[in-house]
Amino acid sequence: MSVHLIEVDAVSKKVQDATGELTILHDISFGLRERESVAIVGASGSGKSTLLAILAGLDRPSSGTVRLRGQDLFALSEDQRAAVRGAELGFVFQSFQLLPNLNALENVMLPLELRGEREAKALATRMLERVGLGQRLGHYPRVLSGGEQQRVALARAFVQRPALLLADEPTGSLDFATGAQVMALMFEMNREAGTTLVLVTHDPAIAQRCERQLHIEAGTLSPLQ
């Protein structure tokens, strides 16, 4: 039986553009244990976000496999992969990805309601209080600062108690001080929840807070020394 929560085995991604075939990822392999944190670092355009989308089952590799708890994600149907994401994965994006027509509480409640959680409101309220937004439950994204929006996104990600959290440049839209506060909160909540973390970042200081770092350059992955 696999000791890894997630296994990436010989994943490649190729696309066609005007000049022919373009290789975005080439023969990527690694595994993550439960509760492990890993940073994937590299320059813009190196393939980091494409790799994260493949880990989530949102993008299909040209070759290779991704296994979550031993299950090949791409042997599943689209609906089955969506169900896996709802049960196992949390997401934090650079651009927050909050629904503008829902207030903070409703944004955090949404993934719980989608899976039929009866205590969605109470759980979402407690999680927003945990990220320091207990007084902002009824506020819509447009009146929240960038830091507050990202804290709502953290609450939404962790309220489901995901096995795997995927974070794509979570401080990319924030100023330095706000970004540092958000990252400290994310790592603290990650330890509390015992979540496996994959963090895409170009910031070495943030990457060093993870247990392991992987460097991606021109679609090829190698451990940082």
Residue 184 CA to residue 190 CA, distance in Å, equals 10
If you average pLDDT over residues 139-163, what whole number do you get?
Answer: 95
pLDDT higher than 70, residue 148: yes
HSE-up of residue 51 (Cα within 13 Å, Cβ side) = 37
Decide if 147 is inside a domain.
yes
Average pLDDT taken over every residue of the chain: 91
Tally of domains within the chain: 1
pLDDT of residue 223: 58
Q: What is the pLDDT of residues 75-98, one digit of tens each?
A: 999 999 999 998 899 999 888 899
Decide if 1 is inside a domain.
no
State both tokens at 42. Answer: 């590299």
Q: Which of 86-95, 115-124, 136-145 bottoms out in mean pLDDT, i.e. has the lowest?
A: 86-95
CB neighbour list of residue 21: distance below 8 Å, 6 or more residues apart: 14, 15
Q: Tell me, what CATH number does 97's domain have?
A: 3.40.50.300
Q: What is the pLDDT of residues 155-196, one digit of tens each?
A: 999 999 999 999 999 888 888 899 999 999 999 999 999 999
* Structural domain that includes position 175: 6-223
pLDDT of residue 1: 45
Decide if 43 is inside a domain.
yes
Decide if 106 is inside a domain.
yes
Residue 155 CA to residue 84 CA, distance in Å, equals 19
Of 167, 179, 173, which is closest to residue 210 (Cα–Cα)? Answer: 167
pLDDT of residue 67: 95
Q: How far, rounded to the nearest angstrom, does the alpha carbon of residue 147 sit from its chain's CA centroid?
A: 17
pLDDT of residue 134: 94
Of 27, 19, 16, 88, which is closest to residue 61 (Cα–Cα)? Answer: 27
- Residue found by looking up tokens 């990319």 in the block: 172
Q: What is the pLDDT of residues 7-37, one digit of tens each?
A: 999 999 999 888 888 889 999 999 999 999 9
Query: Helix, strand, coil % (nearest 5) of the chain?
Result: 35, 30, 35
Decide if 165 is inside a domain.
yes
pTM attached to this predicted model:
0.88
> What is the share, in percent, of the chain residues with pLDDT greater than 70?
98
CB 59 within 8 A of CB 212: no
pLDDT higher than 80, residue 150: yes
DSSP result, 155-194: HHHHTT--SEEEEESTTTTS-HHHHHHHHHHHHHHHHHHT
Confidence class for position 115, pLDDT limits 50, 70, 90: confident
pLDDT of residue 225: 39
Strand, helix or coil for residue 142:
helix
If you average pLDDT over residues 132-153, what whole number do you get?
Answer: 95
